[in-house]
Amino acid sequence: MITAPSLPTHIGIIVDGNRRWARKRGFSEIKGHRIAVEEVIDKLISHAEKRKIKFLTFWCFSTENWKRGRFFAKALFSLLEKGIRQKAEAYHRENIRLKVIGDLDKLPKKLQEMLGHWQEKTKNNKKITVVLAINYGGRDEIVRACQRVLKSKVKSQKSKINKEEFEKYLDTYGIPDPEMIIRTGGEHRVSGFLLWQAEYSELYFTDVLFPDFGIKEFDQALEWYSGRQRRFGK
């Protein structure tokens, strides 16, 4: 068993392979996403709680995923709405905090309201923070942060800003950078996930498609992380 000091505080997960999983089984593509939302994410949150991991971020929908068409986006957002409606109250009772990052203004109004409600209701929960990255892209986040800085500078008349001040304008302000990022599905790239925050993240890639990524695979990733030497440029 890996000891707590060897475990990351924050793990980011690039959810990949849902559509390929469904195609291989002759299902509609959205079936893979349904399994991810209704089964896999729950199991990973529960296991992360047991391992005392404090932050778990899932990249659910990227700014590039709009290219898959409105039908895909609508189906995925409906799944997310259903999942939140069915599970958010139970998560709240379990002292789980919900945080959402991304450009939420482009989401359906109902989903925006639901996410806003549960973020506010769970904001003081302490057991684990589950971060959902929805309509999120790393470059997009940095551009939006720069826009916020410009608006702020007009008011404050600042001529310079340092790294620590800039981070206050990111979606993830108040959340520690991820020590490890897991990508399922066989691709070996971050594709814009947490570009600023991933400066010193350990990157773990697996061929396992996300609907098949269970407790065993999660523990294998944690075991791999525990053997890494994190030198931070030293």
Domain positions in the chain: 8-226
- What is the per-residue pLDDT for 38? 94
Taking alpha carbons only, the member of 59, 54, 40, 45 closest to residue 179 is 54
pLDDT at 3 over 80: no
φ, ψ for residue 73 (rounded to 5)? -60, -45
Average pLDDT over every residue of 174-183: 97
pLDDT at 60 over 70: yes
Residues catalogued as catalytic: 16, 65
Which tens digits make up the pLDDT trace of 126-172? Answer: 999 999 999 999 999 999 999 999 888 655 566 678 899 999 999 99
- What is the per-residue pLDDT for 154? 56
In angstroms, the CA 139 to CA 212 distance is 29
Q: Which range (18-27, 47-56, 158-167, 172-181) has the least confidence?
A: 158-167
Average pLDDT over every residue of 52-74: 96
- What is the per-residue pLDDT for 160? 77
pLDDT at 180 over 80: yes
pLDDT at 2 over 60: no
Average pLDDT over every residue of 97-101: 98
- What is the per-residue pLDDT for 69? 94
- Is the domain spanning 8-226 CATH 3.30.1340.10? The answer is no
Taking alpha carbons only, the member of 52, 48, 122, 118 closest to residue 85 is 118
Average pLDDT over every residue of 168-194: 97
- What is the per-residue pLDDT for 228? 85
Look-up: residue for tokens 């075991």?
223
pLDDT at 234 over 70: no
pLDDT at 1 over 60: no
Q: How far is CA 78 from the centre of its chain?
A: 18
Q: Can you spell out the DSSP letters for 40-78? A: IHHHHHHHHHHTT--EEEEEEEETTGGGG-HHHHHHHHH
